[in-house]
A and B are shown apart, each in its own frame.
Chain A
Amino acid sequence: MSTKTEFRTCPTTGLKVDLNAEKLIKANAVAAVIFLAIGGLFGLLVALTRWPEVHLLPADWFYLALTAHGFDVLLVWIIFFEMAVLYFASAVLLNSRIAGPRWAWTGFGLMLAGALITNIVVLQGGSSVMFTSYVPLKAEPGFYLGIILFAVGALIGCCVFFGTLVVARRERTYKGSIPLVTFGALTAAIIAVFTIASGAIILIPTLLWSIGLVSHIDPLLYKTIWWAMGHSSQQINVSAHVAIWYAIAAITFGARPLSEKVSRTAFLMYILFLQLASAHHLLAEPGLSSEWKIFNTSYAMYLAVLGSMVHGMTVPGSIEAAQRARGLTKGMFEWLRKAPWGNPAFAGMFMSLVFFGFIGGISGVVMGTEQINLIMHNTLYVPGHFHGTVVAGTTLAFMAITYYLVPLVFRREIMFMKLARLQPYLFGIGAAGISVFMMGAGTLGVSRRHWDMQFADAILPFDYPSAAFLMMGLNGMFAVLAAVGGIAFIVVVVGSVFFGRKLGVDEKPSYPEVPPQAAVVAEHGSAHSLKIPGTTMLVAIFFIAFVLYYFVNWKYLSEVWPLS
C-alpha cells in the first residue's frame, strides 16, 4: 500500500479528501458491517431461543451464541465503525492528510486479528463465559488475547486520530476551532483511551490467570475494572453517535448548532463524568459503600446525563431552526412533518435520537438509581435498556450515516433506494420493540442470560407470570423485524459498495442532496430571536415521561420487602 499523500476534492462538499484516509475509512466501515452481520445473526438466534414457543437452540449453543453476540456487536462492530468515524472527522472534515497511515493500517490489522481470534475461540465452545467473562468463570486464553489485540489496535487508531488533529493544526488546513463533529469525535477518542487502559489493566492479568501464571483474581475487583472498560466504552458510542446526529443534521439541512458553546460543553461533560459509570454494574454487589455508589452511579450528580439532555434539545432544535428559516413555519410541527422522512439518513438519525432519549436514556437513569437497581439488577430489564441505547441509538445512527458515506466516501450510488427508504423503520421499530419488551419482561422478574424461562429441567419448580411469556414472544417478533431491517441494511450497503454505479471524479451523486451554504441561517448572533416551539414541546413531553417513569419505579420499589 502506498503511503504517499494524494488528495481528491469532493464535488458535493468541496472538502479535500486524503486518499489514504479514504481507504482506511472504507476498510474499517466494511469490517464493521461484516461483524454487524455476524453478530446480528447470533443475536437473532438468541432472540429466537428466548421466544418460548420457538426455543430454537440447545442450551450450550445458546450460551455460545450469546457470548459471540455480545462480543461481535457491542465491541467489534461498534469500534470498527468508530475508527471510520474518527478518520472521517479528523482527516476529511479538517481537509488534512492522515497522520501515520502505516500505523493506522497496523491498528486495523491488530483489530481484525483480535476479532477473528476471539470469534474462533468462542466457536470452539470452551469459552461460553459471556462477553463480560466474570471471574472465576474461565475462558480459553485465546478469548482474552483476541480482545487485548483488538483493544491495542483501537488504541493505535485513537493515536492516529490525535496525530491527525496535530498535523491539521500545524499545517493550517482549517481556520479557527475544529468543527463540532470533530470535537465530538475527540470526546469519543479521549474516552476510548481511558476505556482501553482499563481493559488492559484487567484483561492482561486475567489472560495470565487463564494460562495459569496468576493464581487468583478477585471477582469484585475484576468487575469494577472490567466495567470501567465495559460501560465507559458505551460512552464512546454516545459521543460518537451524538456527533453523527449533528453531522446528519448539518449535511441534510445545513443546520448549525444553536450554540457552539453549549454543545461543546455538553460533550465536555461526557469526558469529565461518564467514566464513573462502572458503578452502574456494582449497585447490588457486596462490600461497596452507599456513598461511593451514589456519587458514581449518578455521574457526579447527573452532570453527564445533563450533557445528553442538552444534546437532546440542541440537535432537534438546530434542525427546527434550519427548517423554519427555509419557510416551514406553520404551527408547531410543520418543520418536522415536512422533514425528509424518505431519506434513510434523516429517518434513521431522528429515530435514533428519539429512541435513545425515551427508551435508552430514561431507563438507564432509573435503573442506575442506587435503590431502584434492586428490582432490576440482572433481569432482562438490563439488556432492554442497553438495546435502547446501543441498538436503537448507536447502531441506528451508524446505519444512518452510512447512507451518506456510501456516495460521499465510497463514491457509489445507493442501490435499492426503495428498500433503503424502508430500512431505518424496519430496524428502528424492531430495535425499539426489543428494548421495550425486554424491559417489560425484566420488570416481571425474568432473568437475563437464561436459556429456559420455564425451568423445565430444574429440580425445584418455579413459574414466571404468564405475562412474562407474552413479553418474550413479542420480543422475539420484534427481533425478527429488526433482523429483517438488519438484512436490508447489509443488502443495500454491500450491494451499493460492490456493485453500485461508480460515480465519476467530479460527479455529484443524486443522493444525498446537500443544501447550499446560502440556505444556512440562524447566525449565532440571533440567539435572542431563536424560536423553536416544536422542539420545546418535544423536550417537555420527554421531561414529563422521565419524571413519571422515575416515580413509578420508586413506587414499585416501595412495595418489595423491607430490607437494609
Chain B
Amino acid sequence: MAITPPSERNWWKQPIAKVELTWIIIAFFWGLFMFFMMIYWHGAGEQNLSNEAYKIKPEKFAAKTQEMIEAYTVREETGFPVVHPPAGSDVYLTGRLFNWWPILELEKDQTYRLHLSSVDVQHGFSLQPININLQVHPGYDMVVTIKPDQAGEYGIVCNEFCGIGHHLMVGKLYVIE
C-alpha cells in the first residue's frame, strides 16, 4: 500500500504496465507539442509580445506623454484630452492613480508603437471588450506594436489592484475608420 514501505525491496526494477507506459508516452509528446506550439506561434501567429522594454524614470515617461498630448490633441472629453497621433508613430499611455491618461484615438488597420508605463504603483492594462491584458510597471516602458483591426469604442479597465480607487480607474480608446 501507499502508506507502507513497498513490499518488493527492488521496486525500481519492477516492470511498468503497458497501459501506464502508453499514457506516459502520450502525455510526454503532448507536452512537447504544447512547448513547440508557443515557439511556432512566434513565427506564424499574429499575437505575440515583443518584450521590447526600457527602464525609464516615471517623470520622464509622464513628460513624453505630455509632449504627445500637446502635439496631437484633437478635442476634450470630460476633462480628458483626446489624442490622435499619426499612424505608425510612438503612442504613450500613462497609468496613474486613478486613471489612464490620455484618451487615444487610433486609425483602423494602422500600426502603432504603444508605450505603457506607470508613474506610481503597478497597474493592469485591460483593453475591453477585445480582452488584451498587460501588466504596467512603474520604471519600465513596455513597447507593444499594435494594429487595431476593428473600429469602435474601447474601455481600458485597470485590472491590477492599485489602491482604494482601483475600481474608478477606467480609460478609453477609440479606433476610427
A contact residues vs B (CB 8 Å cutoff): 13, 59-60, 63, 93, 128-130, 134, 136-137, 174-181, 218-220, 246-247, 249-251, 254-263, 283-290, 293-294, 298, 301-303, 305-306, 309-310, 313-314, 317-318, 365, 369-371, 374-379, 443-445, 447-452, 455, 457-465, 520, 523-525, 527-528, 530, 532, 536, 539, 543, 546-547, 550, 554, 557-558, 560-564
Total residue contacts A-B, CB cutoff 8 A: 315
The 8 Å CB contact of A136, one of B18, B24, B121, is B121
Is B64 in contact with chain A by the CB < 8 A criterion?
A: no
Q: Are A287 and B51 in contact (CB under 8 A)?
A: yes
**Is A455 a contact of B167 with CB atoms below 8 Å?**
yes
Cβ of A290: which chain B residues have Cβ within 8 Å of it? 42, 48-49, 51
- If A525-B14, A558-B45 touch, whether A450 touches B166 (CB-CB below 8 Å) is yes
User: What 10 additional pairs, Cβ within 8 angstroms, besides A371-B38, A546-B30?
Assistant: A247-B2, A250-B2, A258-B17, A259-B16, A260-B14, A263-B2, A305-B27, A377-B134, A458-B170, A527-B17
Most chain A beta-carbon neighbours within 10 Å: one of B49, B129, B137, B166? B49
Q: Would you call A306 and B45 a contact (CB within 8 A)?
A: no
Indicate if the CB atoms of B5 and A178 lie closer than 8 Å: yes
Which of chain A's residues have a CB closer than 8 A to the CB of B15? 527-528
A458 to B172, CA, bound (A): 12
Q: Which of A286, A313, A314 has the most CB of B within 10 A?
A: A286
In the complex, what residue of chain A is closest to B9 when comparing beta carbons?
A176
A residues less than 8 Å from B45 (CB atoms): 371, 557-558
Does the CB pair B163–A137 fall under 8 Å? yes
**Interface mask (B82-95 → A, CB under 8 Å = 1, otherwise 0):** 00000000000000
Query: What residues of chain A lie closer than 8 Å to B155, measured between beta carbons?
Result: 460, 462-463
Return the contact of B6 from the options A176, A448, A563 (Cβ within 8 A): A176
B137's contact among A220, A259, A375, A444, by CB below 8 Å, is which? A220
| B121 & A450 in contact (Cβ 8 Å cutoff) | no
Asked whether A136 lies within 8 Å of B120 as measured between CB atoms, the reply is yes
Contacts of A263 in B (CB 8 A): 2
Residues of chain A contacted by B132 (CB below 8 angstroms): 374-375, 560-561, 563
Q: Which residues of A contact B159 (CB under 8 A)?
A: 377-379, 447-450
Seen from chain B, the residues whose Cβ lies within 8 Å of a Cβ on chain A are 1-9, 11-12, 14-20, 23-24, 26-28, 30-32, 34-35, 37-39, 41-42, 45-51, 53, 77-80, 99, 103, 116, 120-122, 124, 126, 128-135, 137-142, 144-150, 155, 157-164, 166-172
- Contact assessment for A260 and B17 in the assembled complex, using a CB-CB cutoff below 8 Å: no
**A378 close to B39 (CB less than 8 A):** no
Interface centre among B9, B19, B170 (most CB of A within 10 A): B19
In the docked arrangement, what's the CA distance between A525 and B11, Å?
10
Q: For A462, give its contact among B12, B42, B128 (CB under 8 Å).
A: B128
Which A residues touch B11, using CB under 8 A? 177, 260-261, 524
Q: How far is the CB of B162 from chain A (nearest CB, A)?
A: 7
Provide the residues of chain B in CB contact with A564, threshold 8 Å.
Answer: 46, 48-50, 144-145
